[in-house]
Amino acid sequence: MVVGAGPSGATTALLLARLGHNVVLVDRARFPRDKACGEGVMPPGVDALRRMGLYERVLATGARPLRGVTYQLPGARPRVNVPFPVPPGGGPAGGLGVRRTTFDAVLVEAVRDEPRATVREGERVTGLLRNASATVTGVTTTAGEILGRIVVAADGLHSPIRAWSGLSVPPRARMRYGLAGHWGVATSARDAITVTLAGNHEWYEAPVGPDLLLVSILSYRSRHPVTAREYAAAARRSVPALRGAELVSGPLGAAHFHQRVRTVAEGGVFLVGDASGYDDPTTGDGIAIGMLLAERLAKHASDFLSGRISADAAAAGYARDHAVLVRERRRLTQLALFLARSPSLGRRAIGRAARNPAALGKLVAINCGYETFRDLTPRDWLSLAGI
């Protein structure tokens, strides 16, 4: 059984059902549901959608193809465009700007279409069921009990299941928070995410529909934070496209991003997506990595459920794949936060990249999992340092 029907949980449930297993997918929310997000799906997430045969269905909801990321300082000077890289094996490059309401609903509908899957919405999981040897055998919910040979926790950043199963590591006090709102702005001329580094915070703009611009802020807590009440005025002051525009929905918020786990699989519980550990949304890859992790988890879980390997082997195999998928991305997030936190370094790095964007392009490729830090040359490091 799978708890949480966001992109990580829905992908896991869909793939397990397609591999021939009976799956229950349960979420406390009813879909379509909204969530604070920058709503950019990075290229590996788009690749995963294509593998699942869902790319066209997502596009039909009004999702917007994205060709890259534009980094800039306030006032748009300097400004550098970094195109998304082509995947190593070839194929189309590009991300997608999506509305979480429709994007997540497409995935949940795809699960519902599978004869072996049951979707239960509006049902909150309240605890874990265990057998005599303390292995988790299911969950209790607001509607009763659900048993499962494995329990997949895809219940998000502040995962209750991660806490109940003893897999959480106490979080470090990283005081970052985010707010996201939708604005009525013509987006036909936009085909990139725009990131504006503005001192102790960043603004993100993403086209997510024909006349819909998502504008989010990620910030360190400061003496003068941008609160939800001040979001609209601060966004209008900082993002020129919003002057005179209408705030259509939001803002929604989230905080305490840095979450770590002792292990990602143990005692019948498998953690996936944000529930399996998180750093910060700054690199915008949470949806994509959640779907990639779900693919690996579905494979190992299926091997166990089909009797090909033991539960311990499935847990170990998934933990190995998880480490490989997140290692370089976590380093990249640390580097991005370092640059975001040091205004003078960020300014120099973008100034240098405006003249030669190759090094910044390699960082975007690392974020996609197409390159690694080993591919950065000393010249690239100097360029990132603004030298």
Ligand X SMILES: Cc1cc2nc3c(=O)[nH]c(=O)nc-3n(C[C@H](O)[C@H](O)[C@H](O)COP(=O)(O)OP(=O)(O)OC[C@H]3O[C@@H](n4cnc5c(N)ncnc54)[C@H](O)[C@@H]3O)c2cc1C
Could you list the residues that contact ligand X (CB under 6 A)?
3-9, 26-29, 35-41, 124-125, 154-156, 160, 178, 180, 216, 254, 273-275, 281, 284-288, 290
For residue 28, the minimal CB distance to ligand X (Å) is 4
Nearest to 217 by CA among 251, 256, 173: 251
For residue 355, the minimal CB distance to ligand X (Å) is 27
Sheet holding 68-72, edge to edge: 79-83, 68-72, 192-197, 201-209, 212-220, 176-184, 246-255
Which residues, at least 6 apart from 244, have a Cβ–Cβ distance to it below 8 Å? none
In this complex, which beta carbon is closest to ligand X, that of residue 230 or of residue 351? 230
* Maximum C-alpha span of the chain: 64
Alpha-carbon distance of 101 to 196, in angstroms, equals 25
For residue 231, the minimal CB distance to ligand X (Å) is 11
For residue 20, the minimal CB distance to ligand X (Å) is 23
End-to-end CA distance of the chain: 52
In this complex, which beta carbon is closest to ligand X, that of residue 187 or of residue 383? 187
Secondary structure element (H or E) that encloses residue 64, with its range:
strand 64-66
Q: Name the residue with tokens 């990639």.
A: 292
In this complex, which beta carbon is closest to ligand X, that of residue 154 or of residue 349? 154
In this complex, which beta carbon is closest to ligand X, that of residue 37 or of residue 245? 37
For residue 341, the minimal CB distance to ligand X (Å) is 17
Task: Supply 155's token pair.
Answer: 């219940």
Alpha-carbon distance of 127 to 208, in angstroms, equals 36
For residue 52, the minimal CB distance to ligand X (Å) is 14
Alpha-carbon distance of 112 to 294, in angstroms, equals 17
Tell me which residue has its CB nearest to ligand X.
Answer: 286
For residue 377, the minimal CB distance to ligand X (Å) is 28
In this complex, which beta carbon is closest to ligand X, that of residue 124 or of residue 258? 124
Nearest to 280 by CA among 289, 269, 272: 289
For residue 379, the minimal CB distance to ligand X (Å) is 30
In this complex, which beta carbon is closest to ligand X, that of residue 6 or of residue 317? 6
Beta strands in 34-120 (DSSP E): 40-41, 64-66, 68-72, 79-83, 95-97, 117-120
Q: How far is CA 138 from the centre of its chain?
A: 26
Q: How far is CA 67 from the centre of its chain?
A: 18
CA atoms within 13 A on the CB side of 102: 16
In this complex, which beta carbon is closest to ligand X, that of residue 260 or of residue 348? 260
In this complex, which beta carbon is closest to ligand X, that of residue 6 or of residue 346? 6
